[in-house]
Amino acid sequence: MVRTPLTPEERERGERLGRLLREARGDRSMPEVAARAGVSAETLRKIETGRAPTPAFFTVAALASALGLSMDELIGRCVREAGIGTEAAA
C-alpha cells in the first residue's frame, strides 16, 4: 500500500498536537504516560516530536485520557494554537 505524502498543513497539525501533548505531560515521564495510555513510549515519542503526525484517533484519545484532558479540551487547544477562528473574532 502506498501512502499519499502529507501536506505541509497536516505535518504542522501533527507537530502542534505533539507540542500540546508534551506540554500536558509536564514532568511526568514518557514511559509512565505511555503505559497509562496503553501505547509504547516510542509511539508517544514519535507523536510528541512530530515524526508520527497522523496518529490513530484511539491513540490520541487514550493519551488525552492518560493526561487528564478531554478530547474537547485537546481540540480546543489545537485550534487556539493554530489561530483558527480568530479572524472572525477580530
- 49-83: per-residue pLDDT in tens? 999 999 999 999 999 999 999 999 988 888 888 77
CB contact at 8 A, 30 and 36: no
Q: What are the Cα distances from residue 33, in Å, to 1, 24, 27, 85?
A: 32, 10, 10, 31
Give pTM, 2 decimals.
0.83
Q: What is the mean pLDDT of residues 37-45?
A: 98
